[in-house]
Chain A
Amino acid sequence: MTILIGYVPTPVGEAALEAGLAEAAARGDDVVIVNSPRRGATVDADLVDEAAAAKLVARAEAAGVSARVDHTTHGADVVETFDALAAETGARLIVIGLRRRSPVGKALLGSDAQRILLDAGVPVLAVKPTA
């Protein structure tokens, strides 16, 4: 089976990656690291370049997991991207990172994590950064 890990180069993303890799190593799953930039943006700070992507794959291999990085772009709703990828890979689990958001911030900007938790078609494992 396959596990999708939502990854951005921040502590939240790192935590998701750690947990996802551990889960995959324990159960012998493949991993797709989802690093999905916003469609239409000229620059996306959450996007990782090829070198960084290669490092991620190497890290997964060090943990004994075969992985690839997916850069499919997403539109206004990131859930669709995850659902499509889950259907495509037959994933059994999505791993994402969570962070604390003030209620105001959540109301204004929304929360991709919350939407994935509520709307995704497969089980979701939500992880908090350790620090």
Chain B
Amino acid sequence: MDVNAFLDGFGLVTEPQNLLYCLIGVLIGMLIGVLPGLGPAATIAILLPITYSIDPVSAIIMLAGIYYGAQYGGTITSVLLRLPGEASSVVTVFDGFALAKQGRAGTALGIAAIGSFIGATVSILGLTLVAPLIAGWALSFGDPEYAALALLGVLLVATIGNGNKLKAMLAAAFGLLLATIGRDSFSGAERFTFGSLQLTEGIDFVVVAMGLFGVGEILYNLEERHGKPHVPAAVANIWPSRKDLKQSSGAIGRGSLIGFVLGVLPGGGAVMSSLAAYATEKRIAKNPERFGRGAIEGVAAPETANNAAATSSFIPLLTLGIPANASMAMLFGALLILGISPGPQLVEERPDLFWGVINSMYIGNLILLVLSIPLVGIFVRILRVRPAILAPITALITILGVYTINNSTFDIFVMIVFGLIGYLMKKVGFEPGPMVLAFVLGSIVEDGVRRSMLIFDGDPTGFFTRPISGTILAAFVLVALWPAAKALLARRNAATVAAPAERDHADTPSR
């Protein structure tokens, strides 16, 4: 590791301007984490145009702050209102709200803040040490490896997310197809342009992302789906007692590790790791029946893990150029806008950016720890602002923002079209996430495959005979077939327990 570059990175982060953007990013992140509706990916998408007008490093620092800040904000509503602000805080609801009902909301929030900070810091340390090594190793990757890796990334994101796997893969394939619109970089032939001059350059990633995530979610939220208003729980004594800390120390330690490891995996990320950490704690607990009734570990583990994962999911992006989830795909897009193609060369070519972003996370998490607790009251107050008032503001930010990219109304219309597609996808049960991710990676996969075919002289088995790409593709096949294998296994299991299960169904009133 280049210690000088690392220290320079710190120097860069502590510049007042960057500190300010870090603070803004973290605050926005917490805010949208608290507010139901827009997720971090949508928020980053909506704010992407800002990267055109401010300094690249500051922009990425801010957008990164939004992502990990949101992980914390989601906790607050999970605990106080039984209303997960973010998907990664859904399991926190079980024990967090139970604690709040016992009048220990403050304890739950405090332990979540401490766990989040420890998990994130452990993860950044891991990131600091591991990322340069992976980048160095990945420098030897050729086109076949990249094609295989990008394909694996797309597949993992599609299959690990929640929801139907087939639909997610379909959405991903759609993204790959979308990426081919425009002039083919090899032959110069125009594809799927339908004679439109504006489409020859291909569709701008930012416009697609703002449409699918931004406009799509805004429209989706317009539909009246708000439930009953909630009564805010009172928050008293934030600081967890020594006993609470001791009780959750194991959970925080394991959560950090689980989060770090799962965060690195494409598709893993915060949601998956919070589930896994909660499950682990429940499994090894002496009396697992406490879980769901206010076990402090049930808050500590998932909250630690989701922040650790949010941090470590930067590793594949910064070292391989493969975004691990939808939010990382947005950051990938932001980097592309700035003319930086993320990959193993990043640490050598742009050490300022590489270390600037990583080190900003140390500072950002410190800010989160310091701010989150005192601001809880303010965030609860912000929840009183009706979503109806915020909706037109986000809508205007989105439309005016997308216009400023190229000063083009054509972009607004493209965005609206993708907004409609995103909305309809959600209604019919397709997640737009895999589609955006595949769209980002589409040209990497295609170019990689085509250059590889030239290298292999037209022999596709070449992918399997190279050790690294072979391994990656073997993993690909495993992941692709896993759901089918699991379904088959489950069916066999179900056959053996069918009799008692049937009786159980009989006395369950159908909803």
Contact = CB atoms under 8 A, between A and B. Distances in A.
B229 A38 contact: yes
B228 A43 contact: no
A131 interface: no
Contacts of B386: 38, 40-42
B386 to A, nearest CB: 5
Given A48-B231, A49-B231, A43 B226 contact: no
Chain B binding site: helix, strand, loop or mixed by DSSP? loop
Contacts of B35: 42
B387 interface: yes
A73 B230 CA distance: 12
B81 interface: yes
A127 to B, nearest CB: 24
A28 B444 CA distance: 79
Contacts, number: 47
Most chain B CB atoms below 10 A, which of A41, A48, A49 = A41
Given A49-B231, A73-B229, A42 B388 contact: no
Interface string B228-239: 111110000000
A20 interface: no
Contacts of A42: 35-36, 81, 83, 226, 229-230, 383-384, 386-387
A108 interface: no
Contacts of B231: 43-44, 47-49
Interface in B211-242: 224, 226, 228-232
Contacts of A49: 231
B393 to A, nearest CB: 15
A32 B228 CA distance: 20
B177 interface: no
Most chain A CB atoms below 10 A, which of B36, B224, B386 = B386
A103 to B, nearest CB: 25
Interface size class of A (residues with CB under 8 A): 10 to 19
A43 B387 contact: no
A6 interface: no
Contacts of B384: 41-45
A48 B228 CA distance: 12
Interface residues of B, number: 17
B230 A47 contact: yes
Contacts of B36: 42
A97 interface: no
Interface string B365-399: 00000000000000010011011100000000000
A40 to B, nearest CB: 5
Nearest to B231: A49
Contacts of B383: 42-43
Nearest to A52: B231
Interface string A54-81: 0000000000000000010100000000
A43 B388 contact: no
A13 interface: no
A45 B228 contact: no
Nearest to B36: A42
Interface in B80-133: 81, 83
A43 B36 CA distance: 11
Interface string A7-45: 000000000000000000000000000000111111111
A101 B69 CA distance: 40
Most chain A CB atoms below 10 A, which of B81, B83, B228, B380 = B228
Interface string B56-90: 00000000000000000000000001010000000
A40 B388 contact: yes
Contacts of A48: 231
Contacts of A40: 224, 226, 386-388
B293 to A, nearest CB: 18
A30 B224 CA distance: 34
A71 B228 CA distance: 9
Contacts of A71: 228
A47 B232 CA distance: 9
A102 B383 CA distance: 26
Contacts of A44: 229-231, 384
Contacts of B229: 37-39, 41-44, 47, 73
B31 to A, nearest CB: 13
A49 B229 CA distance: 11
A39 B228 CA distance: 8
Contacts of B388: 40
Contacts of A38: 229, 386
A73 B232 contact: no
Nearest to B80: A43
Contacts of A73: 228-229
Contacts of B387: 40, 42
Contacts of A37: 228-229
A71 B231 CA distance: 12
Nearest to A37: B229
Contacts of B230: 42-44, 47
Most chain B CB atoms below 10 A, which of A38, A43, A47 = A43
A47 to B, nearest CB: 5
Contacts of A47: 229-231
A72 B228 CA distance: 10
24 contacts: A37-B228, A38-B386, A39-B226, A40-B224, A40-B386, A40-B387, A41-B384, A42-B81, A42-B83, A42-B226, A42-B229, A42-B383, A43-B231, A43-B232, A43-B380, A43-B383, A43-B384, A44-B384, A45-B232, A47-B230, A49-B231, A71-B228, A73-B228, A73-B229
Interface of A: 37-45, 47-49, 71, 73
Given A42-B387, A73-B229, 5 more contacts: A38-B386, A39-B229, A40-B226, A43-B81, A47-B230
The 5 closest A-B pairs by CB, nearest first: A43-B383, A37-B229, A44-B229, A49-B231, A41-B229
